[in-house]
């Protein structure tokens, strides 16, 4: 179960369906430009491939701010429904945590919605030793 960094258009195409599973508003027409803009803004995409496509994908940003110091933030973590329960998302999280340690990052963060459908994701995060650290507030403009 090798984790790969998405660097080529072919890699991005392999990740399309897994990303769209989590982000259904990201239609085929919008996908390529959205990925280009996302990855141009201090982000990386990593994936685990099965049968020529990404069974699971993660997108994370890296940066520095006054509150967190040098940090990684997992924006997206998605597994195709037919590949859930095989450890792919856990493998991606482990890879990101190892990468963060190697590169000297101080913290890794993520937010997750609080619906019943997210219960398995929350179990994964807690099993990986993430702490519930705050409430996240937002406003749509």
Which pLDDT tens digit goes with each residue over 37-94? Answer: 999 999 999 999 999 999 999 999 999 999 999 999 999 999 999 999 999 999 999 9
Which residues 6+ apart lie within 8 Å of 7 measured at CB? none
* pTM across the whole model: 0.93
The hierarchical CATH code for the domain 3-127 is 3.40.630.30
Q: Is 42 left (phi over 0), alpha (psi -120 to 50) or beta?
A: left
Please give the distance of CA 2 from its chain centroid, rounded to a whole number: 16
Report the pLDDT averaged over residues 4-27.
97
- Per-residue confidence at 113, pLDDT binned at 50, 70, 90? confident
């Amino acid at each position: 179960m090798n984790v790969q960094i998405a660097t080529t258009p072919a890699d991005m195409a392999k990740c399309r369906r897994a990303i769209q599973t989590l982000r259904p508003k990201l239609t085929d027409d919008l996908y390529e430009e959205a990925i280009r803009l996302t990855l141009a803004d201090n982000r990386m995409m990593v994936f685990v491939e099965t049968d020529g496509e990404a069974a699971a994908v993660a997108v994370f940003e890296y940066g520095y701010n006054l509150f967190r110091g040098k940090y990684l933030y997992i924006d997206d973590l998605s597994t195709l429904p037919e590949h859930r329960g095989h450890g792919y998302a856990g493998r991606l999280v482990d890879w990101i945590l190892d990468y963060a340690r190697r590169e000297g990052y101080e913290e890794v963060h993520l937010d997750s919605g609080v619906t019943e459908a997210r219960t398995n994701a929350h179990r994964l995060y807690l099993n990986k030793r993430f702490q519930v650290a705050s409430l996240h507030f937002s406003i749509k403009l």
